[in-house]
Amino acid sequence: MSRPEKPNLLKWLYRLEEDGSFGMRTLLQRGAEAALEKDKMEAEAYAEANVNAFCKYVIAAQDEDERRGLSRVLTVVDPATYVFRWYSESNNLDSRRRRKLLRLRRRPAFLNMIDALTSREYEALACVAMNAAGASKISLTPPGNEGGVDFFALLPTPGKCHLFGGGANPVRVVGQSKKYSQAVQVDKLKEFLTTLQEVKHRGEPKTEKIVPPWFHGVRGPIVGCVIAHSGYQAGATSRARNHGVITADSLDVAEMLAMTKIFPEETDAAAQTRMCLEQLRAYLL
């Protein structure tokens, strides 16, 4: 199993809208055909040879997901026979936990929706995500040469005093969206950091003209946020961390949208993705 094959298979796996228990060997064969474009005989041999390595990779990937604050959607039922289960068992769960699992099952549908977006729609999707995060104000910048910023948002802080809580000193988010097919490189992160400083110090007319009036009308920290469809190279991630920039990818956004309460809970995944598309297109008007 080559290095690029693993993330391609995991990407395919995370987008399956299924439930219940399954054998990883059988699923890996399907993935080899769908994601790696192998014929049936090649896929069968591939699954037989790589099922153990891929199971370990999936478990490690979900460990990393949990460290990022994402949910674990696959659990091992029987490691000897490579049997997994989508999501956790729903028996003996309280109603709150059960409803959370039902919402989480919508994540693959949102991922598939996000895959089909244009670059401009992906920028508008960030505004929907900020709404899901609880932003009180959101602005999408005009298309074209916008100075390296795609959206602005105000997010109330959760502190328990007037200096760090409520709406008195909200976090002012300066955001950029990257609908790239490849991981964001460090040079793109450096460019965003330059733009972020221009917004903070109000010294660049090209940047200042896209800043909404409400942004400078409040006080509170200014934080950069980059959302990248295909993630980041290691150097870009470390550079962002060193400068206090929040990084997210489409998996983060899909989970935010699946778990949010801005869409009616009783609607199914297909209806919720339609609502999401309606909301993001409203930002484009």
The pair phi, psi for residue 147, each rounded to 5°, is 80, 15
CA-based max dimension of the chain: 65
DSSP letters along 20-85, please?
Answer: EEEEHHHHHHHHHHHTS---HHHHHHHHHHHHHHHHHHHHHHHHHHHHHTPPP-EEEEETTTTEEE
Residue in this structure with the two tokens 């054998």, named with its chain if needed: 23
Neighbours of 167 (CB within 10 A): 12
Distance between CA atoms of residues 265 and 277, nearest Å? 17
pLDDT at 4: 83
Domain ranges of the chain: 5-95, 109-284
Q: What is the pLDDT of residue 222?
A: 94
Q: Domain 109-284 adopts which CATH fold?
A: Trna Endonuclease; Chain: A, domain 1 (3.40.1350)
**Which residues, other chains included, contact 245 with Cβ-Cβ below 8 Å and sequence gap of 6+?**
189, 192, 193, 196, 223, 224, 225, 226
- pTM, full prediction: 0.92
How many CB atoms neighbour CB 180 within 10 A? 16
- pLDDT given at position 120: 96
Nearest CA to 207 among 195, 222, 219?
195
Q: CA 254 to CA 247: how far, in whole Å?
A: 14
Residue ranges in the chain whose pLDDT is less than 70: 2, 88-93, 145-147, 159, 166-167
Residue 213 parent element (H or E):
helix 213-216
Task: List pLDDT tens digits, range 166-195.
Answer: 667 889 999 999 999 999 999 999 999 999
Strands annotated E in 191-240: 222-228
Residues 6+ apart with CB under 8 A from 253: 110, 114, 125, 126, 129, 227
- CA–CA separation, 9 and 31 (whole Å): 6
Task: Say what the pLDDT of residue 97 is.
Answer: 77
d(CA 251, CA 227): 10
DSSP 175: E
Give CA–CA dist 5/36, Å, rounded. 7
Helix count and strand count (H, E) for the chain: 12, 8
